[in-house]
Amino acid sequence: MLHLESTYSSLPAILYRPAKVLPVSAPRFVAVNQNLAKEIGLKPDWLLRVETLSLLSGSMESSAIAMAYAGHQFGHFVPSLGDGRAYLLGEIVGPDGVRRDLHLKGAGRTAYSRGGDGRATLKAMLREYIVSEAMAGLRIPTTRSLAVVATGEDVPRERLEPGAVLTRVARSHVRVGTFQYLAARGEDAAMAALIDYEVARNFPGAPEGPQRFLWFLTQVITRQAKLIAQWMCVGFIHGVMNTDNMSVCGETIDYGPCAFMDAFHPQKVFSSIDEYGRYAWDKQPTIALWNLTRLAEALLALFDVDRSVAIAQAEAELRKFLPAFETAFEAGMMRKFGQAAAQDGDGEFIAATLMAMTDGQADFTNFFVAISEKKNLRSFFNTEEVCAAWLRKWQAHVPAPDFALMNSVNPKFIARNHRVEQALEAAREGDLSLVEKLVYILAQPFAAHEGATDYANPPLADEVVHATFCGT
């Protein structure tokens, strides 16, 4: 049987509670990620074993723990959240020396469920499986999905839905909200212990002494700036960037009402509950900074005994976020246009291009595929004149585009919302073939998959998905 460690449980007990095993009636695998299993050092037959099915359905006795955290949800602080429908099974160390969590989502009630049933729907768990694997294929830091197990039990939501448990793999499940939880309780010693734990595990090169706490904040800021830039360069909208959904190690986590844009619009929102556009595509950098400011507030007591000094130190670090984001975003976008090194005027060129794409309702992904493959661009702009004017700007700003570079960074395939929904509805009826085909294509989004044109096409008018749901 798999040997799981549990170093997180060596931290102060305020950070977690034991999780009870809640067996399900008829577990069966509906998705297994053999590529990920190999990457993290699991034997090829491990996902085929009966005891593995029992473990990953939450039906086997274990020393699992539910993790505590708080969070700002749509700007409103909730001091006690935690793993309400999930728990940490334990950790494994892969062949690459990286320690990773195995985390069950949808495994039942915990001490933090707050009246919820602790379960998850098959549709929501397969959605996370598909989109997280799409992100991995795009080479964007992300939690991964090892398996989805159907429970054989229905879950009441707007209608009865088949239930499922997802096995999530992550370098860490520590969130901004984890530190907020401790700060709200005045647990400075526990907070220092948590930082030391996270630094030892995921942030090599930390200085000795008290300065390591401010250094930790700086590292988190740097990673988040790069991550948000990567999201935006592929048209990804997380949908619910609450502080409890921001992993401090810099991985994308908690795929709920997320989506990739088809027709480009900077204020695009998909989440069914984001009525005011708080988490729109173009708001993601400012929301990330807002979240990081909440992290800095939580850590202030560790920076300096003089609060005014601590605030000044935190503010100095936070001011680095937007310049770091802008540098990463502009560099990422210019690579999509075939330019490897930054030059004056990049920002203005990108802004003008995005404005023209908005006016023309250009498909975000296919526009960049078209310029990479030297296709006719007329359909992406309002008029022939606008198209010709943009081409002149591109040729003037990037006179010798690197097409090999462009093809390496401009994906031909993304997890298009209508294809994801079609696959999920088919899975709900017992047909998993569309999920399997979609995941296969998205694992290699830069490749030219023969016969997969439909997966690259934007939706028809009656296929457009206007809102997505978290499934809780």
Report DSSP letters for 91-137, one per residue.
Answer: EEE-TTS-EEEEEEESB---TT-TT---BEEHHHHHHHHHHHHHHHH
- CA dist., res. 173 & res. 246, Å (int): 9
What's the confidence (pLDDT) of residue 120? 95
pTM of the predicted model, to two decimals?
A: 0.96
The pLDDT tens digits for 140-151 are: 999 999 999 999
In sequence order, the 6+-apart residues with CB closer than 8 A to the CB of 221 are 292, 317, 318, 320, 321, 324
The pLDDT tens digits for 249-274 are: 999 999 988 999 999 999 999 887 88
Catalytic site residues? 244
- CA dist., res. 211 & res. 226, Å (int): 23
- CA dist., res. 405 & res. 340, Å (int): 8
Confidence check: pLDDT of 1 > 70 = no
Please state the rounded mean pLDDT for residues 32-43: 96
Which of 412, 454, 432 has its CA nearest to residue 137?
Answer: 412
Please state the rounded mean pLDDT for residues 64-69: 97
Residue 109 phi, psi (nearest 5): -65, 145
Local structure of 448: helix, strand or coil:
coil
Which of 168, 164, 136, 167 has its CA nearest to residue 151?
Answer: 164
Residue 232 exposed, middle or buried by CB count within 10 Å (0-12, 13-18, 19+) = buried
- CA dist., res. 139 & res. 141, Å (int): 6
- CA dist., res. 36 & res. 39, Å (int): 5
Confidence check: pLDDT of 466 > 80 = no
The pLDDT tens digits for 378-425 are: 999 999 999 999 999 999 999 999 999 999 999 999 999 999 999 999
What's the confidence (pLDDT) of residue 145? 98
Rounded to the nearest integer, the mean pLDDT of the chain is 95
In sequence order, the 6+-apart residues with CB closer than 8 A to the CB of 255 are 127, 128, 131, 132
pLDDT tier, 471 (very low <50, low <70, confident <90, very high otherwise)? low
Percent of the chain topping pLDDT 90: 91
Confidence check: pLDDT of 472 > 70 = no
Q: What is the DSSP letter of 470?
A: -
Find the length of the chain: 472
CA 357 from centre of chain: 25
- CA dist., res. 1 & res. 60, Å (int): 12
Please state the rounded mean pLDDT for residues 171-187: 98
Please state the rounded mean pLDDT for residues 427-436: 94
- CA dist., res. 177 & res. 164, Å (int): 26
In the chain, domain spans = 7-170, 176-328, 329-409
- CA dist., res. 182 & res. 311, Å (int): 18
The pLDDT tens digits for 222-235 are: 999 999 999 999 99
Q: How many CB atoms within 10 Å of residue 345?
A: 12
Going by their DSSP bridges, the two strands 65-67 and 16-18 should be labelled as antiparallel
Tokens of 6: 């549990």
CA neighbours closer than 13 Å in the CB half-sphere of residue 472 = 19
Confidence check: pLDDT of 21 > 90 = no
188-202 helix and 176-183 helix, angle to the nearest 10 degrees = 160
Q: What is the DSSP letter of 366?
A: H
Local structure of 402: helix, strand or coil:
coil
The pLDDT tens digits for 82-107 are: 999 999 999 999 999 999 999 999 99
Longest Cα separation, the chain: 67
Q: How many CB atoms within 10 Å of residue 325?
A: 24
pLDDT tier, 80 (very low <50, low <70, confident <90, very high otherwise)? very high
Helix, strand, coil percentages in the chain from 3-state DSSP, rounded to 5: 45, 15, 40
Please state the rounded mean pLDDT for residues 191-195: 98
Residue 249, beta-bridge partner list: none
Which of 93, 257, 229 has its CA nearest to residue 169?
Answer: 93
What's the confidence (pLDDT) of residue 25? 93
